[in-house]
Amino acid sequence: MTRTERKPVSTSSRTDTSGFDIMRWPGRSATTLRRLYGIDRPKAIEFLDRDPVNSVLARANLDNAGIGAMSALGLFDNPRHSISALSWDSGNVIPLGFDDFGLDLLADSLLSRSRVCSSLVGPAQQVLGLWERLEPEWGPARDVRARQYSMVIEEPSLVEPDPLVRRATTSELSLVFPASVAMFTEEVGYDPTLYGSSYRRRAEDLVSNGLTFIKLGPDPDGVHERVIFKADVGALAGGVAQVQGVWTAPDLRGQGLATHAMAAVVAQILATLAPTVSLYVNDFNTAAVAVYRKVGFKAVEDWATILL
């Protein structure tokens, strides 16, 4: 299906004096999808705060955005009204709150310029609906993860926390980084160090900001230490801390290590960072899903990820 075929013949458009495309839709007021600027930040925050768990990735990016043009698109049913849908538009595309008409507009906007994102991620209905519109030109995807459980916990786990789980220090980056690379390679399917230094800088930032939790144990060589468990707070915004990059040394899996370690991570996050802890996990990763449920995480919605 082409973009032209998706546009209803009864739709007309014009350009307002600020240069933004305004689409007319039968029975709707003027609808504008446009780049967000610093002046739009309060409206964007108000929209994202309606659903802090689903919006944590976009909110974290928005919080770090400068005061000029942001890597976000906002949908306004009327230019003077509040934002009715929003999509982060950078390395990840994160669509939130779009109806079918809005997804058409968002797809047309993304397809009108060079692709910069490497993935689509967020609530499944949003991501899969958008991908249906983008796939004819952007496909095939490297991987489609059509069902991922978005899970949350807001109280300390009833599982006994592992007392040896703690924040990593900057002096331990040489131990943390190999574990981070192993996690990414296992999860995504390629070594991130093959594509420059950005992944290492990301790991350094997480550690230096106290957002990486680890447990150390003996290396199989019997001499050195290694990271045997790791988890990052990959996004922190709007009262939600999203845990990412959870990894357990392969030779120690299935022994209860991750369950007690995750209970410790939850306890420390709730005590020092945010009142809600979230994560998302592939539905086919049954071992990880079982761990999170034992810790006390509850599934609240389906997410999806498209890897490009």
CATH of the domain at 113: 3.40.630
21 pLDDT exceeds 80?
Answer: no
CA distance 186 to 38: 38
Residues 297 and 164 in one domain: yes
Per the structure, how many domains does the chain have? 2
| Residue ranges making up the domain that contains 98 | 3-140
Looking at the domain assignment, is residue 105 inside a domain? yes
Domain endpoint, select from 112, 140, 168: 140
Residues 122 and 176 in one domain: no
* 3 state SS of 159: coil
Letter string b/e over residues 14-47, b meaning 16 or more CB atoms within 10 A of that residue's CB:
eeeeeeebbbebeeeebbbbbebeeebbebbbeb
- Pairing verdict, β 72-76 and 212-218: unpaired
- The phi, psi pair for 214, rounded to 5°, reads -140, 160
Span 186-193, mean pLDDT?
A: 91
How does pLDDT run across 57-70, given as a tens digit for each residue? 999 999 988 767 88
Report whether 243 contacts 277 (CB < 8 A). Answer: yes
- Pairing verdict, β 276-282 and 240-248: parallel
Q: Could you check whether the bond before residue 140 is cis, i.e. omega within 30 degrees of 0?
A: yes
268 closest CA partner among 219, 218, 212, 306: 212
294 pLDDT exceeds 60?
Answer: yes
How does pLDDT run across 98-144, given as a tens digit for each residue? 999 999 999 999 999 999 999 999 999 999 999 999 999 999 999 99
Percent of residues, the chain, with pLDDT higher than 90: 82
Q: Could you tell me what percentage of the chain is helix, strand and coil, using 3-state DSSP and rounding each to the nearest 5?
A: 35, 30, 30
Residues 27 and 94 in one domain: yes
Residues 105 and 172 in one domain: no
Residues 296 and 195 in one domain: yes
Instruction: Compute the C-alpha angle 299/304/305, nearest 5°.
Output: 135
Q: Note the pLDDT of residue 65.
A: 81
The residue assigned the tokens 């849908």 is: 85
Residues 206 and 179 in one domain: yes
Q: What are the residue ranges of helices labelled H in 65-151? A: 100-111, 124-138
Residues 162 and 243 in one domain: yes
Show the tokens assigned to 239: 């009262």
Report whether 43 contacts 77 (CB < 8 A). Answer: no
CATH code of the domain covering residue 213: 3.40.630.30
Looking at the domain assignment, is residue 307 inside a domain? no
Looking at the domain assignment, is residue 177 inside a domain? yes
Domain endpoint, select from 140, 162, 181: 140
Looking at the domain assignment, is residue 209 inside a domain? yes
